[in-house]
Amino acid sequence: MRPRDNLKSYINFFQGQLAKVSSCGEEVSAFAFINGLQVLHPYKHLLKHNFTKMSEVLSRAQPYIQLEETMKAFSKLNDGG
């Protein structure tokens, strides 16, 4: 994940790539997703949790995605857009 990417775009990219891989279990996909998060990224605190399934990662990520979208909308309001 590049620092300028938001979590939602990373999840969408990751799931698109995951769809290209046959028979990848939730454990492996969760491990790969978390390894893709860079330690310096704002979402590094997701790494503190011991996820074993991709469904857990996606569930835990939802509040952060909502926060991103709220901040983006607020930023647009402040910029007059």
Question: What is the per-residue pLDDT across 3-41, written as a single tens digit (0 to 9) for each?
Answer: 677 888 888 988 999 999 888 888 899 888 888 876 556
**Residue 81 pLDDT more than 60?**
no
Radius of gyration of the CA atoms of the chain, in A? 14
Share of the chain above pLDDT 90, in %: 12
Token pair of 1 as six digits: 């994940």
Q: How many helices (H) and strands (E) does the chain have?
A: 3, 0
What whole-number distance in Å separates Cα of residue 65 and Cα of residue 67? 5
Q: Given this model, what pLDDT does residue 35 score?
A: 82
